[in-house]
Amino acid sequence: RKEVEQDPGPFNVPEGATVAFNCTYSNSASQSFFWYRQDCRKEPKLLMSVYSSGNEDGRFTAQLNRASQYISLLIRDSKLSDSATYLCVGESGGSYIPTFGRGTSLIVHP
């Protein structure tokens, strides 16, 4: 079982929709989490960090639920340009090594 699990999707949504992804993690000692965006097998780029209190950046909201050990990413008012793979990152076994989920594919259609 991977330490960080994601539903691979694809999530196929119309423009303007709200879509949410969850990512579960097994290492209860994990402190830091991130969401990365990856386009067409290009390098991943940081989308946002995930803070315990939750954080928002424009149309994007990230939340952490420590009790249930998952993080979430909410995208409001989806744009065609949001089509990409979204990777969540946690930590491996208390060693602070960045560990990636398999990624969730989002397709936004007109």
Per CB under 8 A, the segment of 11-19, 42-50, 53-61, 64-72 that binds another protein is: 42-50
Q: What burial letters (b/e) apply to 85-94, b meaning 16+ CB within 10 Å? A: bbbbbbbeee
Contact present, 49 and 98 (Cβ < 8 Å) = no
* 98 touching another protein, by CB under 8 A: yes
Encoded one letter per residue, x for contact with another protein by CB under 8 A and - for no contact, window 59-78 reads: --------------------
Instruction: Let me know: does 17 contact 107? Beta carbons within 8 Å.
Output: no
Q: 17 or 27: whose CB is closer to another protein?
A: 27
Shortest Å distance, C-beta 100 to another protein: 4
